[in-house]
Amino acid sequence: MASGSSSLMWFRKGLRIHDNPALQHAAKESNCVYPVFVIDPYFMEPDPNAFSPGSSRAGLNRIRFLLESLVDLDSSLRQLGSRLLVLKGDPGEVIIRCLKEWEVKRLCFEYDTDPYYQALDIKVKNYASAAGIEVFSPVSHTLFDSAEIIQKNGGRPPLSYQSFLKLAGQPSWASSPLLTTLSWLPPVGDVGTCEISNVPTVKELGYEEIGQDESTPFKGGESEALKRLRESIRDKEWVANFEKPKGDPSAFLKPATTVLSPYLKFGCLSSRYFYQCLTDVYKNMKWHTSPPVSLVGQLLWRDFFYTVGFGTPNFDRMKGNRICKQIPWNDDDELLAAWREARTGYPWIDAIMVQLRKWGWMHHLARHCVACFLTRGDLFVHWEKGRDVFERLLIDSDWAINNGNWLWLSCSSFFYQYNRIYSPISFGKKYDPNGNYIRHFLPILKDMPKEYIYEPWTAPPSIQAKAKCIIGKDYPKPVVCHDSAIKECKRKLAEAYALNKRLDGSVTEEDLKKLRRKLEEDENPESNTSRTRQKLIG
């Protein structure tokens, strides 16, 4: 490319300066660089009908996290002699308009495997190539190039973590240090008539501010991400001994894991830089844990789900998804609402759902418990419905990882031991017998004696009165009886698995309908969900 031309750096994820090959390339031999972020109504338009403040796709906590990340990015760009140009509208249209108006010769953006960006990028790339604009779109959101792994595997994604590891090997970039700082950026060129704004506030986007009590304690941005990374790896013993799923899901004052997921989601932290920092720690330790349980192993889980998600048509739904078991889940909106609104009557489950709403983050095992409870453990509600709630409320909401884990937890794919169910009563008790986590997120139960905190409906009326929490009035009775619900769920899953085996992956809508009818006819009246609901315990 001739020197003296302009580049457009399109930020979407990858909201960072360190290890950002697209930004580095944009800066090379350009006399001006336009760093652009487009506020996309698809994710950001307020939805007054949503079940909590936010847009239809993102809760306000994640929107705020993104805005904080943009403010931080803008401030870093300014230190390098540039700034962030914020525009609003359909990103494809906005970018094409900017390319034309600014006579851009080079367009740089991080490659994105999410279906939404795949479709968007085709449109923009088509325009750019017809207009003779160079496009540079490197893989830097993940450790590996998903397409390369799929190609190595004969065109299909590996479906187990171990086979993924074998195919992946060592990342090609890992042997040399990554570029983590920039000393300078070319200035921003003339922006012409394009409508540029500063990073908006949540109010300017049309949202009401929410109280501090409802806000996530995690602040967005690359500066926060790097600070958190440094704090996480300071204790080298902790890094070397990290072993998941060990770790306390009820720890909230000091979470048992890094809480770097929201920063990885938006690319405020490079997963490659995180990986390199971890391997540097390992080099100086006598011993360290290994995948799948180590911290590096966690990053590899992330890449695993990215690869399977990228190579599996309809990965985010049951129908038409060849790796997903076809199961006659129910569509019970009442049960779904009880789960989503933390009204199941099981304090462990409800406390986790409150943490989701308020913090947008929960420990991995806490996510296991509520996902299992909604689907194969107790309520038998479709995993896609739970996925939607997580997708909207998590600040680390990530298309590939979220769908992958919901497929896993609902025993629809990857994991098939549907007899192994998390108890909504005893699982949390193992870690937190006093129920401190429950008391924090469900203050209505704060005075319930520890003997009853996981099963408050068993507390005698006098104890409930003393604790100022009458079950059925101040806090709900259990929405289902766990003991009968698990039996029902297991029975349904056994039948569904048998059907999937018999029809060898070609279960139709009609087959599922028939099975649903049969399951209803065979239903044990004692464990019928609606009856179980009516004769609630307590």
Considering the complex, state which of residue 189 and residue 220 has its C-beta at the smaller distance from ligand FAD: 220
Stretch that binds ligand FAD, among 128-136, 187-195, 351-359, 402-410 (CB under 6 A): 402-410
Q: Which is nearer to ligand FAD, 244 or 482 (CB)?
A: 244
Supply 23's token pair: 């930004």
Q: Is 497 helix (H, G, I), strand (E, B) or coil?
A: helix
Minimum separation from the CB atom of position 333 to ligand FAD (A): 20
Can you tell me which of 401, 438, 486, 512 binds ligand FAD, judged by CB under 6 A? 401
What is the rounded CA–CA span in Å between residue 99 and residue 461?
Answer: 70
Comparing CB distances to ligand FAD, the nearer of 368 and 492 is 368
Of 22 and 401, CB closest to ligand FAD? 401
- Is 402 a binding residue for ligand FAD by CB under 6 A? The answer is yes
Contacts with ligand FAD, 440-459, as mask; x by CB under 6 A = --------------------
Q: What angle do CA 440, 445, 451 make, to 5 degrees?
A: 105
List binders of ligand FAD among 342-381 (CB under 6 A): 363-364, 367-368, 371
Q: Is there a cis peptide before residue 292, judged by omega within 30 degrees of 0?
A: yes
Burial of 231 (0-12, 13-18, 19+ CB in 10 A): exposed
Longest Cα–Cα distance of the chain, Å, equals 83
Q: For ligand FAD, which is the closer residue by CB, 94 or 409?
A: 409
Q: Minimum CB separation from ligand FAD for residue 55, in Å?
A: 17
The span of 333-341, 394-402, 463-471, 481-489 binding ligand FAD (CB under 6 A) equals 394-402
Interface segment toward ligand FAD; rule CB under 6 A; list 25-33, 204-212, 388-396, 521-529:
388-396
Choice between 251 and 536, CB closer to ligand FAD: 251
Count of Cβ atoms closer than 10 Å to residue 496 Cβ: 24
Question: Does 104 appear as a known binding residue?
Answer: no
User: Which 8-state DSSP code applies to residue 310?
Assistant: H
Q: Which is nearer to ligand FAD, 35 or 220 (CB)?
A: 220
Half-sphere exposure of 160 (CA within 13 A, CB side): 5
From the CB of 363, what's the least distance to ligand FAD, in Å?
A: 6
**483 in a known ligand binding site:** no
Report DSSP letters for 433-469, one per residue.
TT-HHHHHH-GGGTTS-TTTTT-GGGS-HHHHHHTT-
Query: Which residue lies nearer to ligand FAD by CB, 409 or 421?
Result: 409
Query: For residue 62, what are the contacts with CB-CB under 8 A and spacing of at least 6?
Result: 54, 262, 360, 393, 394, 395, 397
From the list 161, 207, 310, 406, which residue makes contact with ligand FAD (rule: CB under 6 A)? 406
Segment 243-272, which members bind ligand FAD (CB under 6 A)? Answer: 244, 257-261, 264-265
Contact 22, 9 (CB under 8 A): yes
Cβ of residue 397: shortest distance to ligand FAD, in angstroms? 5
First-to-last CA distance in the chain?
75
CB of 44 to ligand FAD, least distance (A): 18
Is 301 assigned to a binding site? yes
Taking the least distance from each CB to ligand FAD, the nearer of 93 and 235 is: 235
Q: How far apart are CA 404 and CA 398, in angstroms?
A: 10
Cα(145)–Cα(140) distance, rounded to whole angstroms? 8
Residues 464-503 that bind ligand FAD (CB under 6 A): none
Number of residues that bind ligand FAD (CB under 6 A): 28
**Helix or strand run (H / E) with residue 134:** strand 134-136
What lies within 8 Å, CB to CB, of 80 at 6+ separation is: 17, 182, 183, 184, 185
Q: Does 218 bind ligand FAD (CB under 6 A)?
A: no
Tokens describing residue 158: 């590996």
Please list every residue from 286 through 325 that binds ligand FAD, using CB under 6 A. 298-299, 301-302, 305
Q: Judged by CB under 6 A, which of 102, 266, 390, 422 binds ligand FAD?
A: 390
The residues facing 506 across adjacent strands are: none
Provide CB contacts within 8 A for 59, sequence distance 6+: 52, 53, 357, 360, 392, 393
Cβ proximity to ligand FAD, 94 vs 353, nearer residue: 353
- Smallest gap from Cβ 434 to ligand FAD, in A, equals 23
> Is 303 known as a binding-site position?
yes
Name the minimum Å distance from CB 298 to ligand FAD.
3
405 near ligand FAD (CB under 6 A):
yes
298 annotated as belonging to a binding site for a ligand: yes
Helices (H), 398-443: 399-409, 426-431, 436-441
What is the side-by-side order of every strand in the sheet holding 134-136?
A: 85-88, 30-39, 5-11, 106-108, 134-136
Q: Are 58 and 43 in contact (CB under 8 A)?
A: yes
The vertex-225 CA angle with 222 and 231, nearest 5°, equals 145
The answer to whether 257 is annotated as binding is yes
Q: Select 303 or 332, whichever has its Cβ closest to ligand FAD.
A: 303
Question: Binding site annotation covers 458?
Answer: no
Residue (200 or 247) nearer to ligand FAD, CB: 247
Q: How far is the CB of 353 from ligand FAD (least distance, A)?
A: 12
Select from 185-193, 330-338, 405-413, 466-474 the region that touches ligand FAD (CB under 6 A): 405-413
Instruction: Compute the distance between CA of residue 208 and CA of residue 392 in angstroms, rounded to an integer.
Output: 17
Residues within the annotated binding site for FAD? 257-261, 298-305, 396-398
Residues that bind ligand FAD (CB under 6 A): 244, 257-261, 264-265, 298-299, 301-302, 305, 363-364, 367-368, 371, 390, 394, 396-398, 401-402, 405-406, 409
Residues within the annotated binding site? 257-261, 298-305, 396-398
